[in-house]
A = this chain, B = another copy of it.
Amino acid sequence: MAEGSRSPLRSFVEVAPGSHFPIQNLPFGVFRRRGSPEPEPPRPAVAIGDFALDLAAVSDAGLFHGPLLSASPCFRQETLNMFLGMGRPAWKEARATLQKILSADEPVLRDNEALKKKCLVPMSDTEMLLPITVGDYTDFFCSVHHARNCGFIFRGPQTPVNPNWFQLPVGYHGRASSVIVSGTDIIRPKGQGHPTGDSRPYFGPSKKLDFELEMAAIVGPGNELGKPIDINDAEEHIFGLMIMNDWSARDIQAWETIPLGPFLGKSFSTTVSPWIVTMDALKPFTCEAPKQEPEPLPYLAEKNHVNYDIPLEVWIKPKEQSEPSMVAKSNFKHLYWTLTQQLAHHTVNGCNLRPGDMFATGTLSGPETESLGCLLELTWNGQKEISVGNSTRKFLEDGDEVILTACCKGEGYNVGFGTCTGKVLPALP
């Protein structure tokens, strides 16, 4: 067999082995050059190796030739929302153009030093920004392991999972204003916790600060109010995925949550990774979705019922330790209700989705002890400790940095998400 016929796609940009960002990936983000004398406006990019490819510069150079993008201002915006709204044909055109101009065989960028300098910005010179304006953010609750553990912890062993859970993807509206990009510090929230005995409720810094290992899907075109999206069209509306940490203050959450659900226990910060990995890049990592029993109602029954095999890890770096330690290892594939089922359910009542809306999966716990996606589950609500390097934790302490990462292993390449990080600062006085 000739070498050429099986050589994988390769870029002229050097990509270290093990990099999350080879030419097979090309996740989208928004960056600003660090330390330019005058602040530049943010601009869209894709990641390639250790570089951000500046899509405004690529656009200015006239390298987007295709019918949908050649005259579009979508890459001269400060967020990806316009591009998201253009839908899958534009996404495919962008990916094809970018894979071509970055490939080892294509001279247009490779052999133009001046243009290369303009377009390829070393990641060390970039500040990554929140790449989308989030109109609405919905948090689902779609890992059965997480649902079972939370039910057990909060409601006891009788009916850990409420009967509706197996009939519909349970979700709630999250807070959009406090969605922030990886690297932003988290100030420990203050709030009320359960009273003990006849006393007043606790008020002060949360004593049960937690992370939640999640992924967030980013919505493309969306729908008009009143017009549901059919389950078999749903994938046309999902652009890609980010890693997400749904920081949670368990004491605030437990006290406030009856009867209307989570509110201030969650709304103080929600961190997302800067890069959105496209569903097109994730296609090779498609896998079978968990069998659903009972069978879903017809509006949730889909022809293409798939998940994605995305290994996930959680690391914690305490302030006084020089290295982070892994505390959990899970996988996106544990999701019981697929992204497309979530989207069809979300719109079945006519609710409108807009480009840039975020759907989070809920905590992606798996079945094993080490695959639990939050400290609530790992320490069984603080009843036991886990070890973190040479220390232990029940909940997060000031100075702890939480690092989530996700990376799909392909044949000879990765499709990775980078990291989603945040460090806990003490509560304000």
Contact = CB atoms under 8 A, between A and B. Distances in A.
A237 interface: no
Interface string A317-355: 000000000000000000000000000011011111110
A39 interface: no
Interface string A398-418: 000000000000000000000
Contacts of A200: 167, 294, 297
Contacts of A263: 170-173
B258 A351 contact: no
A155 B260 CA distance: 13
Contacts of A162: 258-259
Contacts of A226: 187, 268, 428
A428 B348 CA distance: 11
A227 B428 CA distance: 8
A292 interface: no
Contact of A172 (B190, B203, B261, B428): B261
A300 to B, nearest CB: 9
Contact of A177 (B141, B201, B354): B354
A151 interface: yes
Contacts of A227: 428
A191 interface: yes
A167 B200 CA distance: 9
A168 to B, nearest CB: 6
Contacts of A351: 175, 177-178, 264, 267-268
Interface string A59-91: 000000000000000000000000000000000
Interface in A178-227: 178, 180, 187, 189-192, 195, 200-201, 203, 225-227
Contacts of A428: 226-228, 350
